[in-house]
Amino acid sequence: MTTSLNELETQLAALKEEATKAIATADTLDQVEQLRVKYLGKKGQLSQVLGGMGKLPAEDRPRIGASANEVKNLLQDNIEQKRKDLQDALIQAQLEAETLDVTMPAVYRPQGRMHPLNSTIDRVVDIFVGLGYTVATGPEMETDYYNFEALNTPPDHPARDMQDTFYLPDGNLLRTHTSSVQIRYMENNDPPIRIVAPGRCYRRDTIDASHSAVFHQLEILAVDEGLTFTDLKGTIKVFLEELFGEELPIRFRASYFPFTEPSAEVDVQWKGKWLEVMGCGMVDPNVFKSVGYDPEVYTGFAAGFGVERLALVLHEIDDIRRLYNSDLRFLQQF
């Protein structure tokens, strides 16, 4: 049975009309791909129509071949154009969904501020680091040895009393000063050393405008051959001038600390008043013996102060409790 020329031309025309409408109504890239396979694939409808060319007379085959190529090219162009239109639409939809209106007002986030305690610690540490000191830290939970005994504190010293120190059930305690850091550092390092040790401390104390049970200390320690009290005075003088931004009258008053001999309190004249700012002294030889230093070879000096007291002076704050209340009205001033 032969296939007539008219039959093939009719099939091509019907295929062209059907495929054109189907491509035009496709609304996804998957549908477009399915239509391409359906009409132009190896087993697609166009291939099936062309399978009948072998039954045509030789003189009619070129005519059908030309018509088939015309249909094929038309459908390929329609499919590519449809695919491009759908891809462009997807990109446009994504752009609209991700559009950022730069003219819209931003969500306000208040700028963070450095807490006056932290800023005071950083300010002091920067000064001593500039003088060649190294930052050292230690645990806040200490043993009696590091907190008292190694620092030449007698067994009957009032600081060891239950009403002054937070003792823990296991026999340890919450450190009452950062001086324990000095012992730990000297045990693991040979002279010469220069350290600055900031940290939190704990003492049983009645909380009021000038006292707190939790507070911060910062201490310095220098050990070398030939250090004298003059070196200590010079270091403190340079530090206070850097801290207050000007040369102020300074005085040293004789005092007592178990771990320094001689010991002194340091006062600075600030805004017409003498203010006690720190304690200091030459390291007691017994402290050197506890860490294995030879007190006949090495000497050293130490000084320390409460960060809260210094912050109150520098920022003219009237009550230490303001530093711990987390009141934004107060903190936003800094």
Does residue 157 belong to any structural domain of this protein? yes
Chain segment 252-279, per-residue pLDDT in tens? 999 999 999 999 999 999 888 898 999 9
- Measured CA to CA, the distance from residue 217 to residue 211 in angstroms comes to 13
307: domain range? 116-331
Terminal-residue alpha carbon distance, the chain: 101
Last-in-domain residue among 41, 66, 97:
97
Same domain, 65 and 202: no
**pLDDT at position 163:** 63
- Measured CA to CA, the distance from residue 19 to residue 46 in angstroms comes to 10
**pLDDT at position 264:** 95
- Contact between 212 and 117 under an 8 Å Cβ cutoff? The reply is no
Same domain, 248 and 157: yes
Does residue 122 belong to any structural domain of this protein? yes
Does residue 172 belong to any structural domain of this protein? yes
Q: What percent of the chain has pLDDT over 90?
A: 45
CA distances from 46 to 7, 15, 320 (A): 14, 8, 91
Does residue 257 belong to any structural domain of this protein? yes
**pLDDT at position 99:** 75
**Cβ neighbours for 198, distance < 8 A, ≥ 6 positions apart:** 121, 124, 125, 135, 137, 178, 216, 217, 218, 307
Chain segment 74-126, per-residue pLDDT in tens? 888 888 888 898 898 888 888 888 877 778 888 888 777 788 899 999 999 99
Same domain, 174 and 92: no
| Amino acid present at 17 | E
Chain segment 138-190, per-residue pLDDT in tens? 999 999 999 999 998 887 777 666 568 899 999 899 999 999 999 999 999 99
- Measured CA to CA, the distance from residue 309 to residue 17 in angstroms comes to 92
Same domain, 153 and 286: yes
Degrees, nearest 5: CA angle 257-141-196: 55
Report the domain count for the chain: 2
